[in-house]
A and B are shown apart, each in its own frame.
Chain A
C-alpha cells in the first residue's frame, strides 16, 4: 500500500493558465476528496467522489474549478484561468464509505503558485 499519491507536488504557473492535478487514492478506497489549504488554515473541503459519482461539488470555489474521477480510481482537479488567489496547497484524500467513521487518509499535497 503506497498511500494516497499526488502529482505534481509543486506547480508554478502564470496567471491565466490552466493547471491540472492528479490524485491516485489508496487502492481499495471508494471515496476520494479534494481540499484546499492556505497558510494558517485547516483543509477546506472542495468536492468528493464515491466511486465515479461526484456526490458533492457545491463547495468548489468557482466555475473555474472542476474535478473528475472517470473510472472510479484516480481523479483530476483542474483550475482554469488561474488567479493569484488560487495559490495554495491542494490536498487529496481517500477513504472507505462503510460503517461509522470513514478514516480519511491524505496525500502529501500539490503546491500551486500562481505568478
Chain B
C-alpha cells in the first residue's frame, strides 16, 4: 500500500539553527504535500503545503521543497525558536481523497 517515510524521528537543534525534515512517498498519484505541527494534546495544525505543480514554497522562516521525480519533499525551518518545539508530520494526498502521513519528527529547540 501507500507509504510515507519521514526522517529523522527526533531532531534537536540549538536556538537560531536550521532544522530539516525529509519525507519520501510511494504513491505516484500523490499531488499535494502538507506539513503539520502538533503540540501535545492538540490536533495537527497546518503550517505549510506544496502542490505538485510547484517545486518550492516559502513562508517566512518555513520553506518546503518537492522533487516529484525522486518522490521526496522536505521541510526547512530557519532561525529556530523554542516555540518551534513540537512534533511535525508530513503527508501525501491524492485528488481521490487518499491521505498518508509520516510517523512524525519530534523537534526540540534548545534555548
Q: Which residues of A contact B (CB under 8 A)?
A: 4, 31, 33, 40-45, 48, 50, 55-56, 91, 97, 100-109
Query: CB-CB < 8 A to A45: which residues of B?
Result: 98-101
Interface residues of B in 54-111 (CB under 8 A from A): 89, 91, 93, 95-104
B residues adjacent to A (C-beta < 8 A): 4, 6, 31-32, 34, 36, 42-46, 49, 51-53, 89, 91, 93, 95-104
B31 and A42 within 8 A (CB): no
Residue of A nearest to B9 (CB): A40
Are B101 and A103 interface neighbours, CB within 8 A?
Answer: no
Closest to B4 in A: A42
Q: For the complex, give the distance between the alpha carbons of A113 and B47 in Å.
A: 29
B101 partner residues in chain A, CB cutoff 8 A: 42-45
In the complex, the number of residue pairs spanning A and B with C-beta atoms less than 8 Å apart equals 67
Chain B residues with Cβ below 8 Å from A40 are 103-104
Question: From DSSP, what is the main secondary structure of chain A's interface residues?
Answer: loop
CB neighbours (8 Å) of B103 from chain A are 40-42
CB distance from B41 to the nearest CB of A (A): 8
- A–B pairs, 7, beta carbons within 8 Å: A91-B44, A100-B51, A101-B32, A101-B93, A106-B36, A107-B43, A108-B43
- Measured in the bound complex, the distance between the Cα atoms of B107 and A4 in whole Å is 26
The answer for the CA separation of A72 and B49 in the assembled complex, in Å, is 27
Lowest 7 CB-CB distances: which A-B pairs, in order?
Answer: A42-B101, A101-B32, A106-B43, A101-B51, A108-B43, A109-B43, A106-B44
The docked-state distance in angstroms from the alpha carbon of A31 to that of B53 is 23
